[in-house]
A = this chain, B = another copy of it.
Amino acid sequence: MSGLTPAQARFLGELFPGDGFTAVPEETCAFGADASRLFEAPWAVVRPESEEQVVRLMAWAQEEGMPLFPRARGTNVVGACVPRGGGVVVSTLRMNRILEIDAQDFVAVVQPGVVTADLQKELDRHGLMYPPDPASVRISTIGGNVATCAGGMRAVKYGVTRDYVLGVRAVLPGGRVLYTGGRNHKNVVGLDLARLFVGSEGTLGLLTEITLKLLPKPEATASVLAGWPDTDGALGAARDIFAAGILPAAMEFMERDVLKAVAKVGEVPWPEGTGAALLLRLDGGRKALAADLDRLEQVVRSASPSFLLRGLGAREEEPLWEVRRLINPASFKVAPDKLSDDITVPRSKVRNAVDGIRKIATEAGLTVLVFGHLGDGNLHVNVMHDKAAGEGDRALQVKSQVVELVLSLGGTMSGEHGVGLTKYAHLGKQLSPLESEIMHYIKKVFDFKGILNPGKGY
């Protein structure tokens, strides 16, 4: 079933010797899906180990008009890694070396296949921090994080992946190597090409090296978990926190149905009837943090929570965060299937979003779990359903209604996950024809034959 000609297969087999190339369906199969659970059989999979191989691959692919689908750990939930339409999957996982960590320049230079948590662990030993912390951090890679502009909980204070990419080496279709940006923390020479790659979903070039900006690791962290009878209580407290000039390193929100689900799988600290909770983290110098934690607690207490727990330092904080980690396993107690979204709305519209989503869910007779990064207005919306019970279409309809709602509130259909395949059909609702046109022309500047991850992103 491979779409490759014998000559094409021979070329790839020679360029990627040993198990660097395979077109055996049993082997390529695992590279046809990602966390979206969409699937399309790849024609072949290649596993470059060097930029040189990528250069030859890209020269050949452009010549042949061969679609290439870059892929790392495949944790993408919108199908951005799925080789829709057929072509060769390019796994970056063998380019997985941390090339450099420089504690003076505050940069790390890594290959795209480095797992983000592995980098963070290594940085930890140097007293350094790379802030982006997507939920997938333990399994996803820097290359994948750059392709999607991954965010995470710390974004409210520290920003997203985009804010930490100083430079990239990218091989373009045709095989030319673009090295742009660099290791300087400030650089305003020419257009900002390096950051254009961030969030481009592998459509512009294949990254072989990424230079990241690092920060000094704060001495300590502290957390507060608090709940209210309803969403308004939690949102009011969030407003008060910002109004007090506090910028938390995490501001997570959990809605009623999430709390209920979590209570089913673990011990929970909140009283019956808690309808919304906030999970907050601060970071900073140890002594200062004690004062900041007191202040945060005071602000939150003024918002009359039904309960409040605090923790200073990792050991005390651990049980507070356990709750957050239970959300994913708990969700599958609600229903066996999940359509997950990561909409973002202006912060003042979170209330409208939560109400609207609840209404849509009620009408559809499905449970929708709403939680996430309140500080950014970035909410995860999990439409729980049972495909086997024929609820799949209804779930898709809910997802579609949620997108409409979010856009009507001035939001965006994706704050972190990207567009990939699953949101592609909705693109026209958010991007103007002019935006789309410009994006496609920019794509052509890099990839005029359109061979890189075709049909994704924009």
Contacts and interface: CB of A to CB of B under 8 A. Distances in A.
Given A159-B163, A216-B246, A289-B288, A189 B413 contact: yes
Contact of A242 (B216, B414, B431): B216
Interface in A140-199: 148-149, 151, 155-156, 159-160, 162-163, 176-180, 182-193, 195-196, 198-199
A381 B2 CA distance: 60
Interface in A407-435: 410-419, 423, 427, 430-432, 434-435
B218 A344 contact: no
Nearest to A179: B432
Nearest to A350: B104
Given A178-B438, A216-B247, A191 B200 contact: yes
A412 B187 contact: yes
A417 B187 CA distance: 9
Q: How many copies does the complex hold?
A: 2
Q: Which of A156, A247, A419, A435 has the most CB of B within 10 A?
A: A435
Interface string A372-405: 0101111000000000000000000000000000
Given A149-B188, A216-B245, A287-B294, 6 more contacts: A102-B346, A178-B432, A188-B199, A190-B431, A190-B457, A196-B196
Interface of A: 102-107, 127, 148-149, 151, 155-156, 159-160, 162-163, 176-180, 182-193, 195-196, 198-200, 215-219, 239, 242-247, 284-285, 287-292, 294-295, 344-349, 373, 375-378, 410-419, 423, 427, 430-432, 434-436, 438-439, 441-443, 445-446, 457-458
